């Protein structure tokens, strides 16, 4: 095998993986949030759960993405461990659709499919058409890469050293280990199965040896879910244990069966001479049969996972830090941006809650001239700042790897919400800080000023509550937030006039006048940030 063939192999592999990523991105943009909502809701029975898991995975072309999504739902309490069992079983069936697509003999049409897809992206403007174009372009590029790989590996049929290496995979243990390690490295069983099909088409590995590599690939795909469970709670980690158990049990059953009975001959017999189709069919049979065998024992798998990972007294707090670190190392698959939005929303919700809590405490501290709560408010603001940093890092990692599509547009809005929330937290600290000056200089606000501060607190709380509780009628909801922000602006102007009147009448001290003026500035700007947050929420497609 010369340098030309090696370069061809690398180029073909690059196109294959890029085509799969492009197809996944297009499917995500077209249906990511819809698929996610279906996964959240339709898991009431084991059969429905399996069907939903299989259907979603077939659409988004990634069992890893479905499993990672499921881990996230279990971690947030939106899904029980028992429900997750059925989704995982279905995901393993759905992932076989990629191998079946690859087995189709449409290599001659691949350039045309890629051209149609690229033309739709370049010449047509509608976003939905762009998503479809991306799917077609990815599919075409995938098949082109597949053909290049197969052609480049054809000379390996004459290499005694390579043939000797491939022959070793007829040993079940070595074949399973090879498939497991390779899939764990590239983090996609669909991609690794496709590469195995390319090797088989080139004639460098036989079907009898390929099946053991295939079984190992099913185990290797679990690594993505394992990495995604880092930093999650105990229940989420158990979800990954169930995923691993499913594939280990399936591999044990099929490896034993292949050694005792001629399963490969049977599959080859009804499939025909197309070795790529033989591998695809074996992949499908493996996952469907394992699901049928284990379906009655799903609850027992959940109980076994609980015994393997028993409850602990101290649970780790879920933050974005661990996933951000995985992004930095390139360990998390980014093919489905929708997978990450739930954790993102969860942490932004926590940040908003802390900022709102601080704001209420700050107004109360000023009204009661109580500086004792300042330390707690400052500590909470530190948490808000840390969350802002972590969320910003998390979002930046997503946008670096994927910078198009509706889900990415949604994530950009979350970034704006985070920044405005952090600014509200800063204003809350400013307001709380006035209590220190009030205490040191023994300042007392007039009765009129105190009444106005109480009304500021009330309208601010009302505006925040309205902005954070999105209603079905978005237009009416947005209008009500705008009206509340305008009311804050009007109150600021009115209170400034009253404040000047009190100054003229000598009703407040010089220090009190300065403090009250600064308080009004904070009040007005908080209203602006609340409006910005509501406008960002209104633009988020998943909130529709």
Q: What is the pLDDT of residues 207-250, one digit of tens each?
A: 888 889 889 888 887 876 777 666 666 777 888 888 889 989 99
Q: Give the range of the structural domain holding residue 262, as residue numbers without chain letter.
A: 3-308
Do 304 and 346 fall within a single domain?
no
pLDDT at 491: 92
Residues 437, 251: Cα–Cα separation, whole Å: 70
Is residue 319 domain-resident? no
| pLDDT, the chain, mean | 79
Domains contained in the chain, number: 2
Structure tokens at 138: 């990815």
Which residues, 6+ apart, have CB-to-CB distance to 310 below 8 Å?
Answer: none
230: left (phi over 0), alpha (psi -120 to 50) or beta: beta
Is 465 among the domain residues?
yes
- Kindly report the number of other CB atoms within 10 A of residue 108's CB atom: 9
Share above pLDDT 70 across residues of the chain, in percent, rounded to a whole number:
78
Which residue, of 271, 291, 308, is where some domain finishes? 308
> With contact defined as beta carbons under 8 Å apart, do 541 and 33 qualify?
yes
- With bands split at pLDDT 50, 70 and 90, how would you rate the model's confidence at 33? low
* Shared domain check, 367 and 298: no
DSSP reduced 3-state for 3: helix
Q: What percent of the chain has pLDDT over 90?
A: 13
The verdict on residue 321 lying in a domain is no
By three-state DSSP, how is residue 369 classified?
coil
For residue 325, being part of any structural domain is answered with no
Question: CA-CA distance, 242 to 294, in Å (whole number)?
Answer: 11
In a domain, 60, yes or no: yes
Mean pLDDT of 51-71: 73
Q: Position of tokens 């994530």?
A: 411
Do 84 and 186 lie in one domain? The reply is: yes
pLDDT digits (tens, 9 = 90+) for 460-516: 999 999 888 888 788 899 999 999 999 999 999 998 898 888 888 877 777 888 888
Residue 118, pLDDT > 80, answer yes
Structural domain contains residue 314: no
My answer on whether 282 and 359 are in the same domain is no
pLDDT band at 332 (very low <50, low <70, confident <90, very high): very low
Give start and end residues of each alpha helix (H) in 154-297.
160-168, 172-186, 189-201, 207-220, 222-228, 234-260, 263-271, 275-294
Q: Is residue 248 domain-resident?
A: yes
pTM of the entire structure?
Answer: 0.59
**Residue 209: closest CA among 163, 269, 252, 148:** 163
**Cα angle, residue 517 at apex, residues 358 and 361 outer, rounded to 5°:** 15
Q: Are residues 189 and 253 in the same domain?
A: yes
Tell me whether residue 115 is in a domain: yes
Q: Are residues 302 and 409 in the same domain?
A: no
Say yes or no: 9 and 67 in one domain.
yes
70 and 123 within one domain: yes
pLDDT in tens, 285-309: 998 999 999 988 888 888 898 888 8
Instruction: Answer for the pair 102, 96: CB distance below 8 angstroms, yes or no.
Output: no
Compute the distance between CA of residue 12 and CA of residue 493 in angstroms, rounded to an integer: 67
Residues 271 and 367 in one domain: no
How many other CB atoms sit within 10 Å of the CB of residue 109? 13
Full DSSP string of 45-80: SHHHHHHHHHHHHHHHT-HHHHHHHHHHHHHHTSS-
Task: Give the residue from 379, 389, 411, 382 showing the smallest Cα distance to 321.
Answer: 389
Domain of residue 416, CATH code = 1.20.58.220
287 and 386 in a single domain? The answer is no
């Amino acid at each position: 095998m010369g340098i030309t063939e090696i370069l061809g192999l690398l180029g073909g592999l690059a196109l294959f993986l890029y085509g799969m990523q492009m197809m996944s991105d297009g499917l995500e943009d077209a249906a990511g949030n819809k698929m996610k909502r279906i996964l959240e809701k339709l898991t009431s029975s084991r059969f429905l759960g399996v069907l939903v898991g299989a259907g979603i995975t077939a659409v988004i072309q990634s069992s890893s993405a479905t499993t990672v999504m499921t881990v996230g739902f279990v971690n947030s309490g939106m899904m029980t461990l028992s429900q997750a069992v059925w989704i995982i079983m279905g995901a393993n069936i759905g992932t076989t659709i990629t191998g079946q697509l690859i087995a189709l003999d449409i290599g001659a049409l691949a350039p045309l499919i890629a051209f149609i897809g690229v033309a739709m992206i370049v010449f047509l403007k509608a976003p939905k058409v762009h998503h479809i174009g991306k799917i077609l372009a990815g599919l075409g590029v995938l098949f082109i890469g597949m053909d290049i790989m197969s052609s480049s590996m054809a000379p390996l049929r004459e290499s005694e050293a390579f043939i000797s290496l491939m022959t070793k995979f007829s040993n079940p243990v070595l074949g399973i280990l090879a498939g497991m390690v390779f899939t764990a490295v590239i983090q996609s069983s669909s991609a690794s199965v496709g590469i195995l099909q390319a090797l088989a088409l080139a004639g460098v590995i036989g079907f009898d040896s390929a099946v053991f590599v295939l079984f190992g690939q099913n185990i290797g795909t679990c690594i993505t879910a394992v990495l995604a469970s880092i930093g999650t709670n105990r229940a989420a980690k158990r979800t990954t244990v169930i995923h691993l158990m499913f594939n280990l049990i399936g591999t044990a059953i099929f490896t034993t069966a292949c050694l005792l009975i001629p399963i490969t001959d049977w599959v080859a017999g009804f499939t025909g001479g197309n070795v790529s189709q033989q591998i695809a069919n074996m992949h499908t049979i493996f996952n469907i049969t394992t699901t049928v065998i284990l379906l009655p024992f799903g609850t027992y798998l959940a109980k076994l996972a609980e015994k393997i990972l028993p409850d602990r007294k101290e649970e780790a707090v879920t933050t974005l830090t661990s996933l951000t670190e995985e992004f930095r190392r390139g360990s998390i698959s980014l093919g489905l941006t929708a997978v990450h939005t739930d954790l993102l929303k969860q942490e932004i919700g926590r940040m908003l809650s802390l900022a709102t809590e601080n704001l209420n405490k700050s107004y109360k501290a000023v009204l009661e001239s109580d500086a004792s709560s300042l330390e707690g408010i400052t500590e909470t603001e530190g948490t808000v700042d840390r969350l802002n940093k972590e969320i910003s890092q998390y979002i930046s990692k997503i946008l670096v790897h994927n910078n198009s599509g509706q889900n990415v547009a949604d994530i950009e809005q979350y970034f704006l919400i985070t920044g405005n929330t952090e600014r509200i937290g800063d204003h809350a600290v400013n307001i709380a800080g006035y209590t220190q000056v009030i205490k040191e200089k023994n300042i007392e606000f007039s009765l009129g000023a105190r009444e106005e501060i109480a009304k500021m607190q009330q309208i601010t709380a009302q505006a925040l509550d309205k902005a954070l509780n999105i209603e079905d009628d978005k237009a009416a909801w947005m209008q009500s937030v705008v009206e509340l922000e305008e009311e804050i602006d009007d109150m600021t102007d009115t209170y400034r006039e009253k404040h000047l009147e009190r100054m003229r009448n000598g009703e407040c001290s010089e220090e009190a006048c300065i403090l009250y003026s600064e308080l009004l500035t904070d009040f007005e700007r908080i209203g602006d940030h609340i409006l910005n947050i509501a406008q960002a929420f209104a633009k988020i497609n998943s909130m529709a």
